[in-house]
Each structure stands twice: as structure tokens, then as C-alpha cells.
A and B are shown apart, each in its own frame.
Chain A
Amino acid sequence: MLTAVAAFAGIALASGLLLGYAGVRFKTEGDPIVEQIDALLPQTQCGQCGYPGCRPYAEAIAAGDADINRCPPGGEATIENLADLLGVEPKPLDPEAGEEKPPEVAWIDEDVCIGCTKCIQACPVDAILGAPKQMHTILEDECTGCELCVDPCPVDCIHMVPLEGDIEHWKWPAPDVTPGLEIARLQEGRQSA
């Protein structure tokens, strides 16, 4: 009896030590699920979800504080990806957060800009170039289209312009065939046959 207890205590102690060592030796930096969620978010850093950036939103989702349907720039595709990752049902975009729009970039009307630097302070990705009392301009390739620079501008010289419609961003359209249509056509065919 005593030997058994001693043996089990010994095994428990050894396993405990092993686990403790492994915990230190193989410590993971940060929360891997947060990383995975963050990787699926579009990194617009617009804050429409109610959190100050994509990573804080990812942290909130991981903690169970936020729903997965609060990212308008990511839209349906992001919601589906998040649902896949987290093993939950996808749901429609929360209209409270905003609505899904085609991608845009900011554009500064340089004739109107007074060089106040307010937009530069608002830009989450440093995509605006300029200095006090110097004209500002947008680095189009870096702009995420978050719109955070639009409101602070005192002279309303920042406009959002759609990215789609130019040849560089053109995509081959999907064939105009939906599964429902195919089946409907087949059924029609049967009826007439």
C-alpha cells in the first residue's frame, strides 16, 4: 500500500517537474490565437469595430469580449475566415460597425490643403507625407483607406476615391453561372421534356 502511494507520488512529482520545465523551456510568446485572428483581419486600423486598431480587436475576440462580425473593411470574407478559425457560425456584418464598401484610398486636394498636420497625426500607418505649413500628400500604396484622416481636416480637402476601376486592379469576373441557376435550368428542362 505504502509502496504504491510512494510510487504514484514519485511519478506525480516527476511529471510535475517535467511539465514545469517544459513550461519554461517551450514558453510561447504572446497568445497564438490572437496572432491567428490578427492575421485574418485586413489591417485597415480604422477602428470601426470599436477598438483602436486590428490587434486590439483580435485580442477582444480572443477574450470573448467582441463578436466576429464587426469588421466592415474585411466584410463577409473576413467573417467567414474568422468563423472557420474559431469554429463558430458565421453571421452577417453588424450594421452598427458600418457597411462593406469597395476598397478606397484617401486623396488630398493639394490646392486646398493648408498644411495643418492634423491628418498626419490621425493616420494609423504613417501614409501621409508633409510638415507644418507645407502641403501634405498621401502615399497611395501605403494608405489602407481607413478614413481616419477625413474628419480631422479643418478645410475638408481629403476625399476618398475608389481603387477599383483601374486596369491594375481589374480582375476577371466570375462566370455568370450560379449553382441554383443550373439546377433550375435542369428542372425546367425536365418539365418540358
Chain B
Amino acid sequence: MKETPTSRLWEFHGGLRLEGHKALSNRTPVRPAPIPEELVLPLRQHIGAPARPVVEVGERVLRGQVIARPDGYVSTPVHASSSGEVVAIEDRPVPHPSGLDGPCIVIRTDGEDATVEPRPVALDGLDPTEIRNRLREAGLVGLGGAAFPTAVKLNPGPGRGTDLLVLNGAECEPYISCDDRLMRERPEQILAGARVMMQVVGAAHCLIGVEDNKPEAVESLQSALETDGGEDIEVLAIPSVYPTGAEKQLIKVLTGREVPTTGLPADVGVVCQNVGTAAAAARAVHGGEPLTSRIVTLTGHGLREPGNWEVRIGTPIRDLVACAGGYADTVGRLIMGGPMNGFALTSDAPPVVKATNCLLALPEAEVTKPADPMPCIRCGECARVCPASLLPQQLHWHIHGREFEKVQDYALFDCIECGCCDMVCPSHIPLTQYFRFGKSEIWAREQERKKADVARARHEFRQERLEREKREREARLAKKRAAVKKGAGKGSEDKKAAIQAARERARARKQAAEDPPAGDSGSE
């Protein structure tokens, strides 16, 4: 029995219909980007602890070789994305909203692109833990932009039964088309990746959600499914409402299940992954290849030839811009990610990282200048469009007054920073900026409090130790003093006897030295 897809879709609260601007970049197939002269691989390309380098300057490395190991559970390794020589391990500009430098491994490529022997495995009968370890060793993170370690996300923990895998092919943010091209060109890889992930989490079904503004992608996946004949995977075209590609919103649209506040999709029996991550998972297991490249959309009227490229992780953005024909004369801003969720780069020196799904160059004329904010007039538009059903005006009010305890009553951490409220605010209040500020401030205070607790415990322990050492020293002294006092008479007798004995010994030795044995003199 086949249901018509649209009859069983749900809706999430709010959202906006945005102009897609997808045609700018999605008309040409994915092209391979050339190997750059220098690869810059940041040690932190994922959420969690930075990886630890395991190579030294001067070492020759191959494509796919591990050059940094994960440090802790929520961490991933970094692989060399082409062969060459490690020339530096140092701080370099990394793509980050701060514009600051971060630790990187720099490789000068030799152009040979020599690869380590891939180690494919057969999926049949493979234990979920083994697959997870493989994905972890392959350096897999969520390629939709959040870069959360995939192996961790595929481990919902005991007691959480997962019956459904959701693959996110919504790509709801304007301009971005890397997932669109992937779904059109490599649908078999996505299906294979879905099966890998289903085996890991024990899900019997998989839903792939694709926005209906990508009919070619839907068609391509569907025809691949037909050839494959599997009934366990279904492709659904969903309405193009931003941000339907956000995890909780997509799950709502596809299943009607609502992920609880501060909860995870696993709480409602779902694991959600990006289609790009699924394709990379298939390559990691079936192909035995680690993650060393990804598809990146280069788009915007600030570039001469927008399109999609298969890019080695670590390729400097500057080199990639050259692939896209260079900047147009009017370029005004370079953004990593999309126009809604991305952040402006301060330079094009940083490299492409695992999370780089799009580089958007906007011409000067399209850069929205922050209008002067006016006071909130309580119109409620922001609450109407908020896909997380929050009250942005209330959150703004409390963050503005630095009342961070109250903010948490309004579930600030459920905000997905989609930017819908900013767009509709008639007073041009930079709401998302407020929420990002509020979140990082609360986070920093929490860290400070934890650090203070540790310092208090260490200080108290030290005080206790000093106290104990003092007590012990005093006890030792008291014991000695008592011994001296008690043995005053007897002790001196013993001492005299000991001195006497030592004298005897010394005299005997002296005598022995004065008359040497006869045998010795005879030999001379």
C-alpha cells in the first residue's frame, strides 16, 4: 500500500518562504577542484575537543593518512587530504566568526596525490559498534554545517530505541546547492549510506526529506530507489519553507513527532543525518576511504562563475575562489554558509573545513547594512515566524537587560538562530545577534562557575594537606623529643659504648696498615 506523500506531511510553526537563488549554482555538475599547493588542516573542524597531531614537521604524508587523532569521545581525527610534506604545525587563520587563528597542520602538496590503501569492508553482519568505529576513524562529522561527530550522533545510548532514520536533503537555506547536486548525481551513494546508518542505529525505515524546489533531486533519488528495489527507504518532497531543514523542524514535518525542548531526536525514536553525511558514510564503509573532500557551493553575484566543486578539506578559500573565476568587481562580502545562518569571513585566507557547505560572495549592493534599530513595539511578528515557537521579543528584552536567569525560562537554548525573527522585525532589532550573545554569555558564566568550583575544591584540599603535614611534623617532633627525654641517661651510655667500639675499629685498621702482610712485600 502506497500513500501519497503530501497527505502525510505535518507542518511546523512559523517559518518564511524565501527566494531560493539556487539556479545561480545548481545548473552545472560538480567539478573537481585542483589540488592546492598548500593544504591547511585545522585541528578542530568539529564540535568537541580538538584533535591531537600525530605527525611531525618534515614528515611525508599520504592522502587519507591520519595526521591528528581524536582527543576524547566527542572528537574526530583529521586526515591528510593529499600527499605531501608537513611543513608546519602552527596557528593559522581558520573559518570562524571571530576571525581568529586556530591550530592547524600545514601540508605542502607534491601533486602525486598518493593515497593510503583503502580498506573497504562488507556491511553484512557488521556489528553497530564496529561500523561506528569505522565512521569515527574516517573522521566523519555532520556535513550539513554543524559538524557534530557522526559516530557520536549515531549512538543514542541505551534505552532509546530508534525506529526511524531521517535523511536531511531539505537544503532550505537560499543559495546553497551542494546537497541538491549530490542527490542528482550520486543518489546510489546516499541510499547506501542510509543503509549503513540504519544498521548502526537499528532503524527499520528511512525517510529522505527534500524540499519541493528540487524536483530533479527527488526524481533522481526515486529512480535510484526503483532500480534498487528497496522498500525500507522513502523519498518525500516537502514544502519549501525556511527553515524546514533544521533538524527538529524536519522531523516534525516528516513524522509529526515533536522533539522535546532541550531533548534530542533520539527521545522520539529518530536519528537525523544530512544526505552528504550519508554519502560520506557509504564511502567510509564500502569504499574504505576517510573524509578528505566534500562538495562546496561557490555562489553569489560576487563571483564570476558560480557552481559546485568537490574540494579537498584544507584547500584555502582563496584558491577555490580562483576556480570560480575569481571575484566580480562589485564583491562586498564573503560568507561561509548561507545568507541566513552563515557568518561573514574577515579574509579569504582560511581553508575549507568539513563544515564548509557554501561560500557566498555578495556584491556590495546586496550586502544588507544594519539599519538603526528602533525600540521594540511588541507587534509579535517575531513570535509568529519563530519555528521553535519561542517569544523572541521577550528573550530580546531580558538579554538586553542582561537578565540571563530569566532568559532560560523562555527556552533561549531552543533557538536555532535561523534569523526569521530578524527578517520580519519592523524595528530592525538584531535579534539573532542578541540570542547568540546571550547563549555564549550564559555558556561562559557556566564555565566560570565550574572552574570556580574546581578551584575551591583544590584550595580546600591544599589547606587540608598543609594542615595534615603540619600535624604530622608536630607529631614526629613530639615523638623525638619524648624519646630524647626518656632515654637521656641510658642513651648516653649506649653512645659512649658505640664511640668506644668505633675507636677500637679505627685502631685495628691503623695497625693493619702499619705492618703490611709479608706476601705483599715479597712480590715487590
Q: Do A and B bind each other?
A: yes
Interface residues of A (CB under 8 A from B): 38, 41-45, 53-55, 124-127, 142, 144, 165-167, 169-175, 177, 179, 182-183, 185-186
Interface contact A174-B437, CB-CB below 8 Å: yes
Q: Is B53 an interface residue (CB 8 A)?
A: no
A-B contact pairs, 8 of them (CB 8 A): A54-B456, A55-B456, A124-B462, A142-B458, A167-B96, A172-B439, A177-B430, A183-B375
Q: What does the 1/0 interface line of B360-376 toward A look like (CB < 8 Å)? A: 00000000000011110
| Other A-B pairs, 17, CB within 8 Å; known A43-B453, A171-B440 | A42-B452, A43-B456, A45-B455, A54-B459, A124-B459, A124-B462, A126-B461, A142-B458, A167-B44, A167-B100, A167-B101, A169-B444, A170-B96, A172-B433, A172-B437, A175-B433, A177-B430
Contact residues in A for B375 (Cβ distance below 8 Å): 182-183, 186
The residue on B at minimum CB distance from A125 is B458
Q: Provide the bound-state CA to CA distance between A45 and B461, in Å.
A: 13
The distance in angstroms between the C-alpha atoms of A177 and B96, with both chains bound, is 23
- Which residue of chain B has the shortest Cβ distance to A139 in the bound complex? B458
B503 at interface by CB-CB < 8 Å: no
Is B98 a contact of A170 with CB atoms below 8 Å? Answer: yes
The reply to whether A182 and B101 form a contact with Cβ atoms under 8 Å apart is no
Say yes or no: is B102 at the interface (Cβ < 8 Å to chain A): yes
Query: How far, in whole Å, are A45 and B459 apart by their CA atoms in the complex?
Result: 8
Smallest CB separation, A9 vs chain B (Å): 48
Distance in Å from the Cβ of A174 to the closest Cβ of chain B?
Answer: 5
Closest chain-A Cβ to B335's Cβ sits at a distance in Å of 16
Q: Given the complex, which residues of A lie within 8 Å of B98, measured CB to CB?
A: 167, 170
Q: In the complex, what residue of chain A is closest to B103 when comparing beta carbons?
A: A167
Given A182-B374, A185-B372, A186-B375, A172 and B455 contact (CB-CB distance below 8 Å): no
A42 and B448 contact, CB distance less than 8 A:
yes
> Which residues of chain A are within 8 angstroms of B454 by Cβ–Cβ distance?
142
Q: Which 10 A-B pairs have the closest CB atoms?
A: A43-B455, A43-B452, A172-B436, A125-B458, A171-B440, A170-B98, A175-B433, A172-B440, A43-B456, A175-B430
Interface status of B232 (Cβ within 8 A of chain A): no
Tell me if B444 and A171 are in contact (CB < 8 A): yes
B373 pairs with A125, CB closer than 8 A:
no
B94 touches A (CB below 8 Å): yes
A173 to B99: give the CA distance in the assembly, Å. Answer: 13
Least distance between A190 CB and chain B CB atoms (Å): 12
